């Protein structure tokens, strides 16, 4: 992290003359909230302009990319000091504003952060977020998982789907852990399923079919499932009638590998998200060999199975059945903690629910997941980041990435 100071002094009359000659300039330099607050107040236009220049000067002095003027927002509370938002997220930079006569002065101090923490891949796409959207616009994610002793995994996956931008998230877990999980959810709709031996029972398929599957735009199957016999039967039956494009993770992968599931028989697009050991089970290959042949094995499995494969780990590989291959260059040690994969599966489900094709959703999810962890690593260090921390960081990370993607679009 880098600390510094940015100072700007500007003429109030000059700023307002510019606005008078070129009214369109206000939309390019000020947010809608700022325009509403400044209308009819000449000094406010000038102090906010000085603040934006001070922020850019601070970034420039530290060798960081300069944020756009509209990416910097000055926030004035009813009481207290002014604050800043950068790229849609609250900034830790401190801001002081003053004006006297024809002069407006802004001073910005603190620890500056880059606009994004990693270079956004050129092929990365995100679904639009129109201003007139409603929750139905962004789809419903159905998360199915959990077992006694594994209540956290489905909860983290569902929470990540919500933080990833899904309009609605429905979480279905075995009745044995339902009270524990439901007590920790507000925005996520949690529902009990018939259970057996601490896991999901085969009878749960009919409950899902009748009560929960209709209307799902994406499904996440596997977080915390366990390997109880009834659960294995449920998973195999579920794969035979998937209600929507589905992310299969964790024990969903292990069960499928043990029973040699034919992924091409699935009626929906499937995304597999194995870590190296799970990939070894899917390919009947030792984990060490998986690590030595990551690109080849991911591409081969995607081609032969008709699925999108996300082989997790350093240099995560995303492979599509049609031969497309993307290798992430993000290596983030802060992600080396339990639950990170559950967060990724939920985020991936959310991006599919918002309308992205499976391969595009996987590329975006891998990057946003890593971007969120890089931001946490930047602030907190390489050890001790929790999966729940990554979940909370997802909105700001996605917004930073979205602004880069939007800037690349032809005007």
In this prediction, residue 2 has a pLDDT band, given cuts at 50, 70 and 90, of low
The residues, any chain, with a CB within 8 Å of residue 262's CB and separated by 6 or more, are none
pLDDT confidence of residue 146? 98
The lowest-confidence range among 96-110, 113-127, 168-182, 347-361 is 113-127
Would you say 327 and 316 are in contact if contact means Cβ atoms under 8 Å apart?
yes
pLDDT confidence of residue 27? 87
Annotation: binding site for AMP: 312-316, 341
Using the predicted structure, report yes or no on whether residue 278 has a pLDDT greater than 50: yes
Tokens of 63: 């060798």
d(CA 106, CA 173): 53
DSSP readout, 362-373? HHHHHHHHHHHH
Give 67's DSSP letter.
P
3-state secondary structure of 55: helix
- Quick one: what percent of the chain has pLDDT higher than 90? 80
Parallel, antiparallel or unpaired: strands 189-193 and 168-174: parallel
CA-nearest of 116, 390, 344 to 220 is 344
Tokens of 36: 């509403």
pLDDT per residue as tens digits for the range 19-55:
899 888 888 889 989 999 899 899 999 999 999 999 9
pLDDT confidence of residue 60? 86
Using the structure block, give the residue that is written with the tokens 């990833």. 164
Looking at residues 132-159, what average pLDDT do you find? 97
Is this structure's pTM higher than 0.75? yes
Sign of CA dihedral 237, 277, 286, 312: positive
d(CA 29, CA 86): 13
pLDDT per residue as tens digits for the range 183-209:
999 999 999 999 999 999 999 999 999
d(CA 35, CA 54): 19
What's the residue count for the chain? 411
d(CA 302, CA 304): 6
CA-nearest of 48, 53, 115 to 83 is 48
Neighbours of 293 (CB within 10 A): 14
Annotation: binding site: 153, 224, 275, 312-316, 341-342
Q: How many helices (H) and strands (E) does the chain have?
A: 15, 17
In Å, the largest CA–CA distance within the chain is: 79
What are the chain's domains? 2-112 (3.90.470.20), 135-408 (3.40.1190.20)
d(CA 347, CA 362): 9
3-state secondary structure of 247: strand
pLDDT confidence of residue 411? 60
- Cα→Cα distances 77→44, 80, 89, Å: 14, 6, 16
The lowest-confidence range among 59-73, 206-220, 315-329, 344-358 is 59-73
Backbone angles phi, psi at 7, to 5 degrees: -130, 135
Annotation: binding site for (6S)-NADPHX: 153, 224, 275, 342
pLDDT confidence of residue 335? 95
């Amino acid at each position: 992290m880098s600390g510094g100071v940015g100072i700007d002094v500007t003429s109030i009359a000059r700023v307002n003359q510019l606005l008078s000659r070129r009214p369109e300039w206000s939309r390019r330099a000020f947010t809608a909230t700022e325009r509403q607050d400044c209308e009819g107040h000449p000094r406010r236009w000038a102090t906010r302009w000085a603040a934006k220049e001070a922020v850019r000067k601070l970034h420039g002095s530290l060798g960081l990319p300069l944020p756009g003027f509209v990416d910097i927002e000055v926030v004035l509370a009813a009481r207290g000091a002014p604050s800043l938002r950068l790229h849609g997220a609250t900034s830790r930079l401190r801001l002081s504003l003053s004006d006297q006569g024809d002069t407006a002065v802004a001073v910005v101090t603190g620890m500056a952060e880059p606009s994004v923490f990693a270079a956004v891949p050129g092929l990365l796409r995100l679904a639009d977020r129109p201003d007139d959207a409603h929750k139905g616009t962004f789809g419903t994610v159905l998360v199915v998982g959990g077992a006694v002793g594994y209540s956290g995994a489905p909860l983290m996956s569902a929470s990540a789907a919500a933080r990833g931008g899904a309009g609605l998230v429905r979480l279905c877990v075995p009745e044995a852990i339902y009270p524990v999980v439901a007590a920790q959810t507000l925005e996520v709709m949690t529902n009990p399923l018939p259970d057996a031996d601490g896991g999901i029972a085969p009878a749960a398929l009919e409950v899902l079919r009748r009560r929960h599957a209709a209307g799902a735009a994406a499904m996440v199957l596997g977080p915390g499932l366990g390997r109880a016999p009834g659960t294995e039967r449920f998973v195999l039956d579920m794969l035979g009638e998937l209600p929507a494009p589905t992310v299969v993770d964790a024990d969903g992968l292990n069960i499928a590998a043990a029973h040699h599931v034919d992924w091409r028989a699935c009626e929906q697009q499937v995304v597999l998200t194995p870590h190296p050991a799970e990939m070894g089970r899917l390919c009947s290959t030792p984990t060490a060999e998986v690590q030595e042949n990551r690109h080849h094995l991911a591409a081969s499995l995607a081609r032969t199975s008709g699925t999108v494969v996300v082989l997790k780990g350093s240099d995560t590989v995303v492979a599509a059945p049609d031969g497309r291959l993307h290798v992430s260059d993000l290596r983030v040690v802060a992600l080396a903690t339990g639950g990170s994969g559950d967060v990724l599966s939920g985020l991936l489900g959310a991006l599919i629910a918002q309308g992205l094709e499976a391969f595009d959703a996987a590329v975006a999810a891998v990057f946003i997941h890593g971007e969120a962890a890089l931001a946490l690593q930047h602030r907190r260090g390489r050890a001790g980041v929790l999966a729940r921390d990554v979940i909370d960081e997802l909105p700001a990370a996605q917004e930073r990435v979205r602004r880069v993607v939007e800037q690349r679009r032809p005007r």
